[in-house]
């Protein structure tokens, strides 16, 4: 029997997320992203369709050259204006029951103690349906918004992320023992103080005493997403991620990236199947192949070429935008290296250039055809090692309505999509257990801060700082 795939709605709390220019269509409601009812309606629609999760992207600044004007971003609505997904998830949590809710948060934008508390609160509110997409950022403007002169070096950003997640793991997994929360009215004891611990983290960037203020949420640690595809990103994912979001330009490139990351995970003591891979795809659906191709032409009438190129801008270490005709081999960027690596592997008959990045982003991750032929193509991606699809919309809510009504029934007939939700928190739905398995690095902090264990933990932290 085939293994059902997982399906996320890949969205952003903004007017123009991935497919730039489509907001101009008469049926596009993403223009109303400030209205919480837009998202509540979509969340209910997706839950009715049995999507696994809503996955919210986010940024902490503008793309491109920090010192250049940002007219194109404002004119195209290219992720400006945009709102904080972490706040929005509270509203969606209380208006849904089963669907997972994934947020993106950059390590630069929030102190790990504060962020860990926010996520635990959301996990309580949602009864265990929260996921976190761990990102290191790739906008110089975003770095400046948090007091840096420019974006931190690519490798160092992932070292930063390692300490950041380490702090959150200690808070989520180690600060409270099982059974610490009592709520014992007769015994007049709300919690057992002997089972609540300070973490005394001392590192290069953070000093966090603890304890974690929330009691353990249903998942303790949220489901961990990661989207980096560079060498550093794959290494981070292999150590930490449970789900990896990719936008590979072809199943062959996806297969290579997936195999590399799974092998790395095994080298770090994890199992290859401890990580699920989600390919980002958008869909143009017709009753016939001819109708689907005609619809694709119609969609392209709304495409903003400026928007795509601005979104995929690759800048040098001084924050200057590369010309679209620049060969990729001449690019030395501190930004989205993974996209460069994918493109270089995909284009082999000529020298790839910066402008190819936008073209591939716009076309090579869309599937065009009838529901049956799209299902056929999805099977090819699954054969490449993909565990799920991040469905990218052209318009909200129409793209998701069409996929739910036309493609998902065909996939269900083939055993490739779930017909009902499994019980329990999001991690249990995805992996069969609500808590991180013992192979994950966060598991080492369980019981590590008890009185007899804490001195050794602190000594090890100081030695590594």
CA 130 to chain centroid, in Å, comes to: 12
Token pair in block for residue 167: 């702090």
Whole-number pLDDT of residue 68 = 78
Q: How confident is the model over 145-155, as a mean pLDDT?
A: 86
Evaluate whether 224 touches 243 at the Cβ level (below 8 Å).
yes
Cα(93)–Cα(71) distance, rounded to whole angstroms? 35
Please give the model's pTM, rounded to 2 decimal places: 0.90
Q: How confident is the model at residue 451 (pLDDT cuts 50, 70, 90)?
A: confident
Cα–Cα separations (whole angstroms), residue 462 to 159, 188, 202, 442, 452: 17, 38, 6, 18, 18
Whole-number pLDDT of residue 2 = 86
Q: How confident is the model over 399-427, as a mean pLDDT?
A: 98
Q: Above pLDDT 90, what percent of the chain?
A: 73
Q: How confident is the model at residue 465 (pLDDT cuts 50, 70, 90)?
A: very low
* pLDDT per residue as tens digits for the range 51-61: 999 999 999 99
Whole-number pLDDT of residue 228 = 73
User: For 145-154, 316-325, 350-359, 429-438, which range has the lowest pLDDT when averaged over its residues?
Assistant: 316-325
* pLDDT per residue as tens digits for the range 80-95: 999 999 999 999 999 9
Whole-number pLDDT of residue 154 = 81
Whole-number pLDDT of residue 321 = 61
Cα(305)–Cα(382) distance, rounded to whole angstroms? 31
Cis? peptide before 211, omega within 30° of 0: yes
Evaluate whether 222 touches 240 at the Cβ level (below 8 Å).
no
* pLDDT per residue as tens digits for the range 102-123: 999 999 999 999 999 999 999 9
C-alpha neighbours within 13 Å on the C-beta side of residue 369: 11
Cα–Cα separations (whole angstroms), residue 208 to 31, 93, 163, 171, 406: 41, 29, 11, 9, 50
Long-range contacts of 417-423, Cβ-Cβ distance < 8 Å, separation of 24 or more: 417/4, 417/5, 417/7, 417/50, 418/4, 418/50, 418/52, 419/50, 420/50, 421/50, 421/98
Evaluate whether 79 touches 73 at the Cβ level (below 8 Å).
yes
Q: How confident is the model at residue 462 (pLDDT cuts 50, 70, 90)?
A: very low
Token pair in block for residue 209: 């005493």
Secondary structure of residue 103 in the 3-state scheme: strand
Token pair in block for residue 127: 């009864």
Whole-number pLDDT of residue 213 = 98
* pLDDT per residue as tens digits for the range 333-346: 655 566 777 678 77
Q: From 23, 27, 3, 118, select the one nearest 386 (Cα to Cα).
A: 3
Q: Does 461 score more than 60 pLDDT?
A: no
Q: How confident is the model over 161-178, as a mean pLDDT?
A: 98
Cα–Cα separations (whole angstroms), residue 341 to 157, 232, 247, 290: 18, 12, 12, 34
Q: How confident is the model over 57-78, as a mean pLDDT?
A: 88
């Amino acid at each position: 029997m085939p293994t059902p795939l997982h399906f996320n709605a890949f969205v952003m709390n903004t007017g123009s997320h991935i497919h730039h220019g489509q907001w101009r269509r008469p049926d596009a409601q993403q223009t109303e992203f400030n209205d919480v009812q837009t998202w509540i309606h979509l969340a209910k629609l997706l839950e009715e369709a049995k999507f696994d999760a809503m996955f919210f992207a986010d940024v902490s600044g503008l793309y491109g050259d920090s010192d250049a004007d940002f007219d194109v971003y404002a004119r195209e609505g290219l992720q400006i204006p945009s709102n904080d997904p972490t706040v929005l998830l509270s509203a969606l949590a209380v208006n849904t029951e089963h669907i997972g809710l994934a947020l993106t948060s950059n390590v630069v934008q929030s102190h790990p103690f504060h962020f860990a508390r926010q996520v635990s609160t959301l996990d309580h509110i949602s009864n265990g349906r929260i996921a976190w997409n761990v990102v290191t950022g790739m906008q110089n403007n975003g770095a400046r918004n948090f007091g840096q002169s420019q974006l931190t070096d690519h490798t160092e950003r992932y070292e930063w992320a390692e300490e950041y997640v380490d702090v959150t793991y200690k808070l989520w997994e180690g600060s409270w023992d099982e059974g610490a929360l009592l709520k014992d009215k007769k015994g007049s004891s709300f919690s057992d103080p002997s089972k609540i611990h300070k973490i005394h983290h001392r590192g290069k960037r953070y000093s966090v005493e603890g304890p974690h203020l929330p009691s353990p949420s249903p998942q303790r640690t949220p489901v961990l997403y990661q989207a980096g595809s560079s060498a550093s990103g794959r290494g981070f994912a292999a150590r930490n991620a449970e789900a990896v979001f990719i936008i590979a330009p072809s199943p062959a490139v996806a297969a290579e990236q997936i195999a590399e990351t799974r092998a790395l995970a095994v080298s770090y003591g994890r199992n290859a199947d401890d990580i699920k891979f989600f390919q980002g795809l958008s869909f143009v659906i017709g009753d016939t192949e001819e109708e689907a191709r005609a619809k694709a032409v119609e969609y392209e009438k709304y495409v903003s070429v400026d928007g795509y190129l601005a979104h995929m801008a690759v800048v040098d270490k001084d924050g200057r935008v590369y010309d679209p005709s620049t060969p990729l081999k001449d690019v030395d960027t501190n930004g989205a290296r993974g996209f460069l690596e994918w493109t270089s592997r995909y284009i082999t008959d000529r020298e790839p250039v910066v402008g190819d990045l936008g073209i591939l982003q716009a076309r090579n991750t869309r599937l065009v055809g009838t529901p049956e032929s799209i299902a056929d193509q999805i099977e090819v991606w699954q054969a490449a090692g993909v565990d799920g699809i991040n469905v990218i919309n052209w318009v909200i809510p129409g793209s998701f309505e069409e996929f739910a009504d036309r493609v998902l029934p065909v996939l269900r007939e083939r055993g490739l999509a779930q017909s009902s939700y499994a019980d329990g928190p999001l991690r249990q739905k995805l992996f069969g257990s609500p808590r991180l398995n013992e192979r994950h690095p966060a598991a080492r902090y369980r019981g590590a801060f008890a009185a007899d264990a804490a001195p050794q933990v602190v000594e090890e932290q100081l030695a590594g700082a």
